[in-house]
Amino acid sequence: MRTETTPAGTETLDFDVEEYDAYLNSEVKRGTGLDRVDEFVRAYESGQLDDSDPEVSRLVSLLWIGQNGHRAAA
C-alpha cells in the first residue's frame, strides 16, 4: 500500500490488487459475517441482502471502486 497526497493536501491510499482483495474480504467479513467477497456478491445479486442497510451499501461502493467502476462479478 502506498500513501500519497493530492495537490490539495488530501491523503490517498493506493492498494495493489492483492492488498485490495484482502481489504475487501476483511470488510465483507466484518460487515456481514460472510467469509469472502464472492459470497457477498452472490448474496447481493440474488436479493438476499437489504439495499437499505448502510453496511451493504458501503460494501457495494467498495466493490465498485475496486472494479474501477465496472460491475463486480461473482
Domain borders along the chain are 17-74
Model's pTM, two decimal places?
0.73
| Rounded percentage of the chain residues whose pLDDT exceeds 90 | 57
Q: Which residue, among 9, 7, 38, 8, has the nearest Cα to 25 in the 3D structure?
A: 38
- What pLDDT does 65 receive? 76
Q: Helix (H, G, I), strand (E, B), or coil: what is residue 4?
A: strand
Give me the mean pLDDT over the 20-33 stretch: 92
> How sure is the predictor about 74, in pLDDT bands with cuts at 50, 70 and 90?
very low
> How sure is the predictor about 67, in pLDDT bands with cuts at 50, 70 and 90?
low
